[in-house]
A and B are shown apart, each in its own frame.
Chain A
Amino acid sequence: MSRWTDTVFILVVVIDFFALASSRLGAAIRAVAAQGALLSLLPVLLATGEHQTAHVVALALGALLVKGIAIPLMMGWAIREAAVRREVEPIVGFVPSMVLGAVGVALAFAFSGGLPLPTPEKHPLLVPTSLATVWTGLLLVVSRRKAVAQVLGFLVLENGVFVFGVLLSDFMPVMVEAGVLLDLFAAVFVMGIVMFHINREFASLDTAKLSALKD
C-alpha cells in the first residue's frame, strides 16, 4: 500500500515538472487533469480506517469529478471557443522555470521536516509534495502570459492545497470539503467569464495587454 502512495506522490511532483516544461496548452491541460485524478486516489490510499468509508469515498469521487473531469473539459472547451493559439508563451522561459521548479521542490523536501504539524503526519511525502505543488502553481500563475495558462497554474496551486487538506481530512466535515470543491468550480467558472471578456475586448487572451489600459 505504501509503495503505491509513494508512487502517487512522486507522479504528482513529476506532473508539476511537466506542467512547467510543456509548451502546448492541450498537453498541459491533460497533465493537470491527470494530476487531479491522481490526487483523488489519495484520500482512499491514506484512509486510516477509523472513519466512515462513505466520507472518504465521497471526497475521492468529488475530487475526481471536479478536478479530473469537469474542469479540464471546461478548459478544453474554453481554448476551442476562444480560438487561442495553442502555445503557452511564457514570460519566464521553459528551462529557467523548470530549474526554479526543481529548486522549489528541493527546498520543500528540505524544510518540510521542520514544520510543526497539528496532527500526526500521515505520510512522509505528503507535506513536501503539497508545498512543491503549491510552489509550482504559483510559478505558473506569475510566469505565464495567457489567461488559460494562468488558470491552469491556479488549478495546480489548488491541487497542492488539496494534498495538504488530505492531512486534515479526519477533522473536516464533508460539507466543508464539498464547499471547497464548489469554490474551485465557481472560481474556474468566473475565470472563464473573465477570459471571455478579455478575449472579446482585445481579440486575444494575452493578459499583458491589460496593463496598457487607460481611463
Chain B
Amino acid sequence: MLLSAIQLLLFLSLPPFLLGVINRVKARVAGRTGQPLLQPYFDLWRLLHKGAVYSTTTTWVFRAGPVVGLAAVATAGLLLSFGGAPAMLSFSGDFVLFAYLLGLARFFTALAALDTGSAFEGMGAAREVSFASLAEPALFLCLVVLARATGALSLSQMLGEGLGSAWSTSGPALLLTALALFVVALAENARIPVDDPNTHLELTMIHEVMVLDHSGPDFAFILYGAALKLFLFGALVVRLALGFHFDSPWAALLAFLGGMLVFAVVVGTVESVMARLRLSRVPQMLVGASVLSVFALVLLLR
C-alpha cells in the first residue's frame, strides 16, 4: 500500500523533472549551460499564479480542453505500474482503455484548438490528428505483441512477471517492439524527429500550435499533461526494455527510475543529433514503426 502511494506520488511529481533532464542533455550537447533542472516546475508555478484570458469566440469546449486532457492522461497513469507495486487499476483488456484515454486527451486538445476559430490552430489540429491516426495503430500493434508474448491482457501483467520469460524465448521480437514503441513515444509527445517543442515557427509546429491561445492555469495544465504523457510513454518503453523481474519491489522501483533517467538522456541525445523530419516523411517513419511491430508479431505467431 505504501509502495503504491509512493508510486502514485512519483508519477505525479517527477514528469517535469524528466523534461528538465531532457533540456539539460540538449543544452550540454550544444555546449550551453542550460536552464536549471527544475525550470519546468518554476514555469508551472508561475503559470498557475497568472490569470487566464479567454477570447469571446470560445465556448465551454475551450475551457474543458486542458482539464479533460490532464484528467485523461492522469487516469491513464493509474493503469500502469511503475516499479514493484501493482498498478492502481488493473483489469483484463485495460490496455485498450489506456490507448483511448490518451486518445481522449488528444481529442479534447484538438477540439479546444478548433474552438478558437483560428485557421492557424485548425491547421495544427489537423496535423496532430493525422499523425496520431498513424501512431495509434503502431501503439496498438506494440501492445498486441506484448499481449501475445506474455499471454496476459492487462497492462500490469503484460509488463510484469511474464515479461522476463518472454524476453528469453522471444527476445528479438520484443526488441523490435521496444524500438517501435520508442518511435511512437517520440511522435506522440511531439519530440524532435516529428515536431520541435521549442519552435514557434508556423511551418514546423504541430502540438505547440494547438495550445497557443491557452494562458495562465490552463496552459499550466497543458504543459503538465504533456509532461505526464511523456512520462507514461517513457514508462512503457522502460518497463518493456528492463524486462526482468525483481524480487524486491524497492529494487524494481530504483531500476525503473534509473531506466527513466536513461530514457530522458536518450531522448535528449536523439533531439540533439537529429534534425526535424520533413512533414511528408513523418507518416513514413510511423508506418515504419508499425511495420516493425507487425514483423515482431509475425515472429511471435510462428
Contacts and interface: CB of A to CB of B under 8 A. Distances in A.
A105 B295 contact: yes
B288 A98 contact: yes
B283 interface: yes
Given A6-B172, A109-B302, A102 B284 contact: no
A21 B288 CA distance: 8
B142 to A, nearest CB: 15
Given A10-B172, A109-B302, A21 B284 contact: yes
Contacts of B298: 105-106, 109-110
B172 A106 contact: no
Contacts of A3: 171
Contacts of A113: 302
B284 A95 contact: yes
A13 B292 CA distance: 10
B299 A17 contact: no
Contacts of B171: 3
A10 B287 contact: no
B249 to A, nearest CB: 30
A99 B172 contact: no
Interface residues of B, number: 16
B85 interface: no
B145 interface: no
Interface in A1-29: 3, 6-7, 10, 13-14, 17, 21, 23
Interface in B99-118: none
Given A3-B171, A7-B172, A14-B292, A99 B287 contact: yes
A23 B288 CA distance: 13
Chain A contact-residue range equals 20 to 34
Interface string B284-302: 1001100110110011011
Interface in A68-102: 94-95, 98-99, 101-102
B137 to A, nearest CB: 12
A214 B171 CA distance: 57
Nearest to B134: A95
Contacts of A13: 295
B301 to A, nearest CB: 8
Interface in B127-149: none
Interface in B147-181: 171-172, 176
A98 B281 CA distance: 13
Contact of A101 (B283, B291, B299, B301): B291
Residue of B176, B281, B283, B291 with most partner-chain A CB within 10 A? B291
A99 B176 CA distance: 17
B145 to A, nearest CB: 14
A102 B294 CA distance: 7
Interface string B260-276: 00000000000000000
Interface string B191-233: 0000000000000000000000000000000000000000000
A95 B287 CA distance: 7
A14 B284 contact: no
B73 to A, nearest CB: 29
A17 B292 contact: yes
Contacts of A98: 284, 287-288, 291
A167 B101 CA distance: 49
B295 A17 contact: yes
Interface of B: 171-172, 176, 281, 283-284, 287-288, 291-292, 294-295, 298-299, 301-302
Given A10-B172, A23-B281, A94-B284, 4 more contacts: A14-B292, A17-B288, A99-B291, A106-B294
7 contacts: A7-B172, A10-B176, A21-B284, A101-B291, A102-B294, A109-B302, A128-B302
